[in-house]
Amino acid sequence: MRIFKLKKEYLFPFLESISEGADLWAPTKKPEGKHSFQIIKDFSQIDLDYTRTILPPRKIFLPPSFNMFKATEKKYEADFSHVTEKIIFGLHPCDIHAILIMDQFYKHHYNDPYYIEARNNTLILGHSCWPDEHCLCKSAGTDIIEEGYDLFFSELEKEYLVWIGSSKGDDLIRRKPDFFDENITDKDIQKYIEWREEKDKAFSVSIDFKNMPDLMELKYQDPLWEKLGQACLACGSCSNVCPTCNCYNINDKPFLTENASHISRCWDACTLESYSEVAGGENFREARSLRLKLYYTHKLQAYISKYGKPACVGCGRCIETCPVDINIKTVAQSLDNETVDAFWDRFAKEVTK
Amino acid sequence: MKNDKLKIGFYELTGCAGDCLLVTDCEMELIDIFNAVDIQSFAMVMSNNTDGELDLALVEGSVTTEKEIEELKDIRKRAKAVVAFGTCAVLGGVQARFIDPKEWEKNLKIVYGNTEFTHTKPVQSKPIDAFIDVDFYLPGCPVSKEQFLNFFTRILKGNPPEHYPNPVCVTCKYNENDCLLKKGELCLGPLTADGCGSICPNHNIPCNGCWGPVEGANVTSEFYLLKEKGFSVDEIKKKMANFSGTKITDYFQQLDKEPK
Amino acid sequence: MNGETKNIIQENPFMPEPARIVRTYHLTDDVKFFQVRITDMDKALSFKYDTGQFAMISVLGAGEAPFSISSTPSRPGLLEFCIRKTGIVTDSIFRLKENSLIGLRGPYGKGFPTEKMEGKDIIIIMGGLGAAPLRSVLLYCLDNRNLFNRVILLHGAKRPSEMIFREEFFALKERDDLECYMSVDEDDTGQWPENVGVVTTLFPKVKDLDAENTVALVCGPPIMYKFVINELIKLDIPKDQILMTLERRMKCGVGKCGHCAIDYIYTCLDGPVFTYWDVLHMRELI
């Protein structure tokens, strides 16, 4: 792997030089304090001092709602207007791992051109991070990233170590060769190693993911699911903020004057009431507990069985989002017989009093 | 030439007329709407309204007088299909929030004193399906332009309208808002039908529930969650009843069965 | 910093083909038969499918939904569907007249393993609209009659007026290479010439079944499965030789939209045909 050193003051000039002809997406701070990936018009918008964004970066590839076709009776015209040249800067390792999972999913069996085209036209520029009390990436094995990025910026005190992950990434560096220093000193290496060791110690929670497939199987009828179902607000937020959720719905939006429609695609969530309802009103998962089982089967069991790693990358978004504390941490801990402090547990005691 | 356009009427009962106003606000589509159908009655925008047979009647507002009950029944007789247009028609709206009839009478007295009602007699505000069968419901305060145009276009082309089964939270997350409920605000997002584009939470204002309850809403859990966050039972009930009006009483009855 | 829009040239599995409704008529009050041809002749003839697979049909302005293919691949060119009026899309399909255009894509899913069924006794048990996917495999077996040993059909419906493909199956009854038994739950006409009772009451009529060498194909309303499978198990038919086709909500047909997921399989990729063993193994399937 090729590694360079970049002085911090060169970062924005470098980004400016490479983002010609492309949308540059980066984390920005919202007025209420949370972060969000946005298209950058002005470099002062970029805020790298963030732990996680509200929505995961998949929104950049497949927006919450977009048109797949303009359809008339005789012809379907594919609409790929969501596919533009993009650079995403500031992605943390967990989010890059999630993109790797998406890459695999959208190429499985059938190719999804709407994802693949968007992905092929996007450069991934990662950035190092520091865990907070919700980060589970170390447990998920996603705290370190070895592939999936074009460039990765590890932040040291005054400079970045820039890891080149692809040939395209190497091309980027060549646009400003003067910015990048090949001489990485022993001191730099030592600083990086120290940082790694410090970061490793900074995690406050952990989940044993490798036990989860068995526990999901053995505890499929556990009363835990009823408790979760009672409290779940069925708001769909856990899916919408999850970087590896991929469900969607298709709608036909007819034009008023022309005999034509937009066929649009929007995110769906398996925790929503209507998710498994078929025509005629039969709902295969009317109970909220069944829908939660599906969600957690996907995250904690199915993917591990299929690909040897969980479909959870430990980003902590569900922990930060669910109003009733149903999240990967509380569910996994409960499956593992740990006591948790969660609204759903207090509520279950309240209603069975 | 035979006129085979759908005959449509817009009607306003008691409300702010915001839903009909929204139709007129569809500026880009307005001419197309008027060209596509034969509008027989639309008091807000035209004179010479006629009271003939209709294919579709869109009724806005809640029923608050005896005269309106008669009017509504007449519309039902003339129309092949009736749409409850906007939250007042669907749920009764804010004017139906006093769910206890005695409280309603008390309030009537406070506002009108001993005034004698000569024109017509007031009744407690109710949604239109308290008096007639309704074919389609399109809630909203006012209804959303997108949902209205989609509904209108589908009906026009002979296709059944789409359902909107999601709570406000779905769009609220699409808009990348920080969860107000999680932050401890009295937000009704998870209980409320979507369509507004999460306009209140987008401006850091908790959802008031103006689209009415979404199918499958978990009122009990939200109720206890709000209680745990320090809101009083009265506060929560009041806020929930604000827009959902008389129809939320079902939920309250269900809640009353739950342990305190 | 303006992202340029790209020109895309890629195979698009979501792209429907325009197709024309060649023939349509009512099978019952709420079920209609549709014969459909893809308008592009080359594509119509090269549309290869297996029995038990499904296709996505779209109606402009209404939406898209999955439907089992009722015709047999042994008669290429035309595709047949029987569709019950149950929702937004089917409501719109119902109003389409002959010569109307629809969108069609597919075929999708894993169908019946007809090759593995060769040389075996085939017993087909259909209830109500379950005849839609099973008619395909039935006609396939009859068109390739020499490939299979016995072919047995048990067909159940609520009432005579609700039996789909009634005339067709009565005509098939005349064949001496098909053992065909039909039943209605209740006979409100008083003129029903066949058995009255739920479909399982037809089992005693099937004599000398060689269980080890039999493949059973089942499709019907959810309530039917339990009772029919009980009978098949009593007859000692191996669990992995009992095949059933299942319904789930599907939006894409290609394993992307997630709606048909059960455990970690997608009905649209790994189904809709499953063995009874799959059902026992996978929870939640019925």
In this model, does residue B157 exceed pLDDT 70? Answer: yes
> What pLDDT, on the 0 to 100 scale, is given for residue B233?
87
- What's the residue count for chain A? 353
> What pLDDT, on the 0 to 100 scale, is given for residue A304?
77
Q: Can you say whether residue B130 is alpha, beta or left, with left for phi > 0 and alpha for psi between -120 and 50 degrees?
A: alpha
Residues from chain A that touch B149, judged by Cβ atoms under 8 A, are 256
Q: Which residue of chain C is at minimal alpha-carbon distance from A298?
A: C264
The amino acid at residue B195 is: G
A180 and A224 in a single domain? The answer is no
In this model, does residue B197 exceed pLDDT 60? Answer: yes
> What pLDDT, on the 0 to 100 scale, is given for residue C240?
92
Query: The tokens of C15 are what?
Result: 């792209």
Eight-state DSSP code of residue A301: I
Q: What whole-number distance in Å separates Cα of residue B243 and Cα of residue B93?
A: 5
Of the two residues A325 and B105, the one the predictor is more confident about is: A325
Rg (CA), chain B: 20
A56 and A180 in a single domain? The answer is yes
How many other C-beta atoms lie within 10 A of the C-beta of residue A341?
9
Query: For B9-15, what is the mean pLDDT?
Result: 95
Instruction: Tell if the CB–CB gap between A76 and C284 is shorter than 8 Å.
Output: no
> What pLDDT, on the 0 to 100 scale, is given for residue C246?
81
DSSP A217-231: HHTTT-THHHHHHHH
A252 and A158 in a single domain? The answer is no
Q: Give the minimum alpha-carbon distance from B84 to chain A in angstroms, rounded to a whole number.
A: 21
Asked if residue C272 has a cis previous peptide bond (ω within 30° of 0), the answer is yes
Q: Give the minimum alpha-carbon distance from B103 to chain C in angstroms, rounded to a whole number.
A: 43
Cα angle, residue C79 at apex, residues C113 and C43 outer, rounded to 5° = 95
State the sign of the Cα–Cα–Cα–Cα dihedral C275, C279, C282, C285.
positive
DSSP C4-59: PBPP-----TT-PEEEEEEEEEESSSSEEEEEEEESSHHHHHH----TT-EEEEEE
- CA separation, residue B39 to residues B2, B3, B6, B7, C143 (Å): 16, 12, 8, 6, 57
- Confirm if A105 and A114 have CB atoms less than 8 A apart: no
In tens, the pLDDT along C151-175 reads: 999 999 999 999 999 889 999 989 8
Of the candidates C5, C14, C88, the beta carbon closest to that of A68 is on C14
Is any Cβ of chain B less than 8 angstroms from the Cβ of C59? yes
**Structural domain containing residue A225:** 209-351
Q: What whole-number distance in Å separates Cα of residue A105 and Cα of residue A110?
A: 9
Number of A to C CB contacts under 8 A, please give it: 153
A228 and A323 in a single domain? The answer is yes
> What pLDDT, on the 0 to 100 scale, is given for residue B162?
83
Low-confidence ranges of chain C (pLDDT < 50): 1
Query: For A275-297, what is the mean pLDDT?
Result: 80
Query: The tokens of C258 are what?
Result: 């997630």
Is any Cβ of chain A less than 8 angstroms from the Cβ of B258? yes
Distance in angstroms between the alpha carbons of the first and the last residue of chain B: 68
Query: The tokens of A144 are what?
Result: 């370190």
Per the listing, tokens 């460039």 go with A151
- Confirm if A203 and A131 have CB atoms less than 8 A apart: yes
Q: What whole-number distance in Å separates Cα of residue C134 and Cα of residue C127?
A: 10
Backbone angles phi, psi at A258, to 5 degrees: -100, 155
Q: What whole-number distance in Å separates Cα of residue A215 and Cα of residue A217?
A: 5
A33 and A132 in a single domain? The answer is yes
Query: For B30-34, what is the mean pLDDT?
Result: 91
Query: For A130-153, what is the mean pLDDT?
Result: 94
In tens, the pLDDT along A155-212 reads: 998 899 999 999 999 999 999 999 999 999 999 999 999 999 999 999 998 999 888 9
Interface of C with A in 1-20 (CB under 8 A): 1-6, 8, 10-16, 18
Q: What whole-number distance in Å separates Cα of residue C268 and Cα of residue C255?
A: 6
Backbone angles phi, psi at C23, to 5 degrees: -145, 145
> What pLDDT, on the 0 to 100 scale, is given for residue C1?
47
Neighbors of chain C by Cβ distance (3+ pairs < 8 Å): A, B
Which sequence spans correspond to the domains of chain C?
A: 17-108, 114-245
A175 and A308 in a single domain? The answer is no
Is any Cβ of chain A less than 8 angstroms from the Cβ of C61? yes
Q: Give the minimum alpha-carbon distance from B20 to chain A in angstroms, rounded to a whole number.
A: 18
C149 class by beta-carbon count within 10 Å (0-12 exposed, 13-18 middle, 19+ buried): middle
- Chain B interface residues (partner C, CB cutoff 8 A): 153-154, 157-160, 162
Q: What whole-number distance in Å separates Cα of residue A241 and Cα of residue A51?
A: 14
A30 and A111 in a single domain? The answer is yes
A187 and A251 in a single domain? The answer is no
- Confirm if B225 and B181 have CB atoms less than 8 A apart: yes
In this model, does residue A81 exceed pLDDT 60? Answer: yes
Domain count, chain A: 2
Of the candidates A74, A83, A251, the beta carbon closest to that of C18 is on A74
CA proximity to A298, closest of A277, A312, A316: A312
CA proximity to B237, closest of B251, B221, B225: B251
Query: For A70-89, what is the mean pLDDT?
Result: 93
How many other C-beta atoms lie within 10 A of the C-beta of residue B258?
12
How many other C-beta atoms lie within 10 A of the C-beta of residue C284?
15
The amino acid at residue A42 is: D
- Say whether the ipTM exceeds 0.85: yes
> What pLDDT, on the 0 to 100 scale, is given for residue B86?
94
Q: For the ranges A275-289, B71-85, B116-130, which has the lowest average pLDDT? A: A275-289
Q: What whole-number distance in Å separates Cα of residue C144 and Cα of residue A31?
A: 70
A327 and A255 in a single domain? The answer is yes
Which sequence spans correspond to the domains of chain B?
A: 7-156, 177-257
In this model, does residue B258 exceed pLDDT 70? Answer: no
C114-245: same fold as C17-108?
no
Residues from chain B that touch C59, judged by Cβ atoms under 8 A, are 159
Instruction: Tell if the CB–CB gap between C88 and B157 is shorter than 8 Å.
Output: no
Q: For the ranges A105-114, A274-283, B68-77, C88-97, which has the lowest average pLDDT? A: A274-283
Query: The tokens of C74 are what?
Result: 């042994």
Instruction: Tell if the CB–CB gap between C61 and B154 is shorter than 8 Å.
Output: yes
Residues from chain B that touch A278, judged by Cβ atoms under 8 A, are none
Q: CATH: 2.40.30.10, 3.30.420.40, 3.40.50.720, 3.40.50.970. Which one for C17-108? A: 2.40.30.10
In this model, does residue B259 exceed pLDDT 70? Answer: no
Eight-state DSSP code of residue B6: P
pLDDT above 70 covers a percentage of chain A that reads 98
Largest CA distance in chain A: 70
How many other C-beta atoms lie within 10 A of the C-beta of residue C196?
12
Eight-state DSSP code of residue B33: H
- Strand duo B54-60 + B7-12: pairing: parallel
Instruction: Give the CATH number of domain B7-156.
Output: 3.40.50.700
Query: The tokens of B211 are what?
Result: 């689209």
Neighbors of chain B by Cβ distance (3+ pairs < 8 Å): A, C
The overall average pLDDT reported for chain B is 89
> What pLDDT, on the 0 to 100 scale, is given for residue B200?
95
Reported confidence tier of residue B131, pLDDT bands at 50, 70, 90 = very high
A182 and A223 in a single domain? The answer is no
SS3 assignment, position C72? coil
CATH architecture of the domain C114-245 equals: 3-Layer(aba) Sandwich (3.40)
Query: For A96-122, what is the mean pLDDT?
Result: 93
- Confirm if C260 and A258 have CB atoms less than 8 A apart: no
